[in-house]
Amino acid sequence: MKLCQMSPTDFRRQLAGQGVWLRTGPFSLRVQSRLPRVAEGLAELYGQFEVRNPRLTFADFHIEVNPPGVLRRWFRPQVNFSFDGELPFKPLPLDQAYPMLEWGLNWCVSMHAHQYLIIHAAVVEKNGLAAILPAPPGSGKSTLTAGLVLSGWRLLSDELTLIDRKTGWIQPLPRPVSLKNESIPLIRAFSPQAFINRESHDTAKGTVAHMRPPKESVRRQHEPARPGWVIFPKWEAAAATTLTPRSKAQTFMFLAQNAFNYSHLGADGFRVGTTLIEQTECYDFHYSRLDQAIAAFDRLAATMKPSAIT
Amino acid sequence: MAAPKNLVSHALCNPDALHRYSLSDWDLLVRQARRAGLLARLRHVLEQHKRLGVIPAEARWHFDAAATLGAKQQIAVRWEVGKIAEALAGLAIPLVVLKGGAYVMAGLPAASGRLFNDIDILVPRDQLGPVEAALMLAGWHPSGLSDYDQRYYRRWMHEIPPLQHVKRATVIDVHHAILPDTARYHPDSAKLRSRAIPVAGMKNVLVLAPEDMVLHSATHLFHDGELPHGLRDLTDLDLLLRHFAFDPGFWNRLATRADELELSRPLFYALRYVRHFLATPIPQDFDGAMEHASPGAVPLAMMDALFTRALAPDHASCEDAFTPFARKAAFIRAHWLRMPPHLLFPHLFHKAFARHHENGQEPKPA
């Protein structure tokens, strides 16, 4: 059953009670929260994801997003993220409850899922090939990702690129796309079909909101993709759209440094990383206009077919 | 039989019974084992019993990922010990590796599936200054402690404040004894060092003799205030005992050595609770040999009430109404044994009221 098929009352009651079992990509969650804004966020953004009876099954991550105690209910109310009873983060203001759930989920995956090499990068797919977009914050990675997945590219992940250590292919984790500050109105204007949830203000990253993942990306969330490109996007005011090849060795070093668990995997991390680099084309990408950037990505996808790669 | 609450102990003792676990049992087992730091070890035990196949597909990656981390840590521990030995080479002192690091260096079964937080070493007390200086030159620096804790370590403890490597972030605990000076018992660390055994292929790197290794593990467990890894430490002891017991003379030597080092009481408790949690085979006649180390019936009943709770995985599903009290009492008891009252009460007062103001180093959400 999909979450959107549950009655809103049942969903809220279950979320506040024993918790809701939810599958995203390869992971299952049991989420419990008494907060209406968390229920609202999940209902709006995770409608296409599978839910099950939480009593009878196994969940990878047991998480709760709840206020810390009664005392703070009236005075600057706060929210805690709990991973099976542990609190990995300090409480945040209540207004950030929904983004805290998303950040907490990223933490759960990146701290535990060592069956993957986990790179801090967005990843999208077209014609069977995945483009990995690693980039420091502020490079416009999320904006570009949102634009691409609203233009026919498949969302694999906006934050965590999961490289299956056995196959070298990318495992999708198409959760909501995190948008910050100016990208929120920009994406709203770019596509009226985009659904973006309520904004949380004054977070560590400024104003944050999440965009619902495309239905098709969620439907195909168990279909891995072969890595095709590693592209470092950089948004610059008035820059022309340019795609420049970059050194594979440097790209490898950057990916290793920006992987969450490269050092945990030992020699296998090196093997997985170098195999990835060998089979991908690596580029620097500068852009200022989102429509031109997407056109450039479409041209790239049209020139390289998976069959052309050996 | 009622369903056991502590599924980790149950699974470690009965790997052949796991095919009867439901998916929700596995759900709870993974959560308890993760909290106890025993996912990788449980996987290792199942592998040894050729029972890896009983893990349901949904749960399997949790065990494999923990084993990946464990395997990497074993390599890292060997490498770090090499680096420590290199840093101390100029001092020409014996470097005794303790606990987990020692199990790895000696290639003992207690190393398998073990996860590490730090590396513990034992050096002669009169060499502490030069040792710390040499380690600092090699990149290990004291870090993350309040001034109060720094002073507390240096004045009262059997170790200096933990040293963390500036680049690799690895942590070393440098001990000069296995208990603080202020503790009730004073096992002579020179005696421990005198029987230490060299690690094959490494210069000046040693581990404690088998009996001393068991006694240190037991002493540490029952004098350490915080028991987040209580069950993991018990499984270490269980694996050490099962391994050393292949030598028929081991149990006699253990009893004699415990008396000699004045550590019979912690050994008595250690054996009592490894048996309780992990059904460790201990010869019947050994109980007689340990009888003199038992406290009276009433204190023993109290200890049982505390430690059967405090050593269980620190997970809500293992708790009863008495567990929070038992954990606090175990903490206070450990400190009671480590320090006389005129030091203990100010220290506990400081810890109770000052600790939340000093450290603010939790990670920020990503």
A203 and A268 part of one domain:
yes
Q: Does B63 touch chain A (CB under 8 A)?
A: no
Residue B102 lies in a domain: yes
pLDDT of residue B360: 40
Q: For chain A, 310 residues long, give each residue's pLDDT as a single digit of tens.
A: 999 999 999 999 999 999 999 999 999 999 999 999 999 999 999 999 999 988 888 999 999 999 987 666 667 789 999 999 999 999 999 999 999 999 999 999 999 999 999 999 999 999 999 999 997 877 889 999 999 999 999 999 999 999 999 999 999 999 999 999 999 999 999 998 899 999 999 998 899 999 999 999 999 999 999 999 999 999 998 999 999 999 999 999 999 999 999 989 988 999 999 999 999 999 999 999 999 999 999 999 998 755 444 4
A90 and A107 part of one domain:
yes
A187 and A224 part of one domain:
yes
pLDDT of residue B182: 66
Q: Would residue A305 be called left, alpha or beta, if left means φ above 0 and alpha means ψ between -120 and 50 degrees? A: beta
Contacting residues of A for B72, CB less than 8 Å apart: 263-266
- Count the Cβ atoms, other than its own, within 10 Å of residue A100: 24
Q: Give the angle B160-B165-B166 at the CA atoms, nearest 5°.
A: 125
The partner residue sitting opposite A114, judged by closest CB among B23, B65, B365, is B65
Residue of A nearest to B32 (CA): A84
A256 and A139 part of one domain:
yes
SS3 B322: coil
Rounded CA separation B1/A290 (Å) = 65
**How many structural domains is chain A composed of?**
2
Residue B365 lies in a domain: no
Among the candidates A112, A144, A163, a domain finishes at: A112
Residue type, position B71, single letter? A
A63 and A156 part of one domain:
no
Residue B363 lies in a domain: no
Contacting residues of A for B30, CB less than 8 Å apart: 58
A63 and A127 part of one domain:
no
How distant, in Å, are the alpha carbons of A35, A36, A183, A248 from that of A95?
A: 11, 11, 20, 42
* Cβ within 8 Å, pair B68-A265: yes
* Cβ within 8 Å, pair B363-A88: yes
CA dihedral for A16, A22, A24, A29, sign (positive or negative): positive
Rounded CA separation A26/A116 (Å) = 11
Among the candidates A70, A92, A112, a domain finishes at: A112
Domain interval for residue A131: 116-308
Rounded CA separation B186/B138 (Å) = 32
A57 and A184 part of one domain:
no
Domain interval for residue B13: 7-354
Rounded CA separation B55/B66 (Å) = 14
* Cβ within 8 Å, pair A264-B58: no
Residue B362 lies in a domain: no
The partner residue sitting opposite B363, judged by closest CB among A59, A89, A264, is A89
Among the candidates A64, A85, A112, a domain finishes at: A112
CATH of the domain at B156: 3.30.460.40
Condensed to tens digits (0 to 9), the pLDDT of residues B100-154 reads: 999 999 999 999 999 888 899 999 988 999 999 999 999 999 876 777 777 777 7
Structure ipTM: 0.93
A89 and A183 part of one domain:
no
Are B254 and B211 in contact by the 8 Å Cβ rule? The answer is yes
Compute the mean pLDDT over every residue in chain B, rounded to the nearest whole number: 87
**How many structural domains is chain B composed of?**
1
